[in-house]
Amino acid sequence: MATALSLDNEKPLLTLEEAKSFVRFHQQQGRTVVFTNGCFDILHAGHVQYLNKAKALGDVLVVAINSDASVKRLKGEKRPINTQEDRAYLLKNLKAVDAVLLFEDDTPLSVIETLLPDVLVKGADWAVENIVGKDVVEAHGGSVQTISFLDGRSTTGTIEKILNAYT
């Protein structure tokens, strides 16, 4: 039986209020805060490249991850593969990521409205006009950017490879 990681001393997840204070502090120091979100279920090279490119758009990268319940609603009953705690732990320990928080809703709109990042980033599979939070960020003088994905890298593709290897 799998056991949960002991995260007592590492606290990879910030609360929304802690994240807001974190963002405000860095903005007051003149740093550009970049925000992105996603499930980040099975971490792969495409995720890491995407996060590195997101970080390059500013000074500080904040990542909001979907809760386990949110991932189930969006991706189906068999997902997520990894728990929200494990996903947060992995992300927080990537060089590019400065802060990680969790959100329960299906979209991060309320998180974006609270944090008001300088740059909002999503994958290039999203049309800029359809990115949740675009209007909020732009209304506060921020920008919205898209980043292309690394071809052939996806969580769904990874799951399919694993399943095909054992059938």
Which candidate, 70, 105, 73, 106, places its Cα nearest to that of 87? 70
Six-digit token string for 97: 């990521």
Nearest Cα residue to 79 out of 88, 89, 67, 71: 71
Residue 28 neighbours by CB under 8 Å, 6+ apart: none
Q: Which residues pair with 142 in a beta bridge?
A: none
Task: Identify the sign of the CA torsion 123, 99, 92, 56.
Answer: positive
Tell me the two tokens of residue 45. 């090279």
> What confidence tier does 44 reach under pLDDT thresholds 50, 70, 90?
confident
Query: pLDDT category, 163, cuts 50, 70, 90?
Result: low
DSSP codes of every residue in 105-163:
SSS-HHHHHHH--SEEEEETTS-GGGSTTHHHHHHTT-EEEEEPPPTT--HHHHHHHHH
Find all residues with CB under 8 Å of 36, minimum gap 6, and list them.
50, 51, 54, 61, 62, 63, 64, 120, 121, 122
Residue 33 has pLDDT above 60, yes or no: yes
Give 77-129 pLDDT, tens digit per residue: 988 999 999 999 999 999 999 999 999 999 999 999 999 999 999 998 889 99
Domain positions in the chain: 13-165
Residue range 13-165, CATH number:
3.40.50.620
pLDDT the model gives residue 124: 87
Q: Which SS3 state, helix, strand or coil, does residue 71 take?
A: helix
What single letter denotes the amino acid at residue 167?
Answer: T
Asked if residues 77 and 61 have their Cβ atoms less than 8 Å apart, the reply is no
Q: 149: pLDDT confidence band, cut at 50, 70 and 90?
A: confident
Q: How confident is the model at residue 151 (pLDDT cuts 50, 70, 90)?
A: low
**Structure tokens, 141:** 């003088």
What pLDDT band is residue 3 in, cutting at 50, 70 and 90?
very low
Are 39 and 155 contacting, i.e. CB atoms less than 8 angstroms apart? yes
Decide which of 98 and 4 is more confident.
98
Is pLDDT of 69 > 60? yes
DSSP-assigned letter for residue 18: H
Res 1: pLDDT: 39
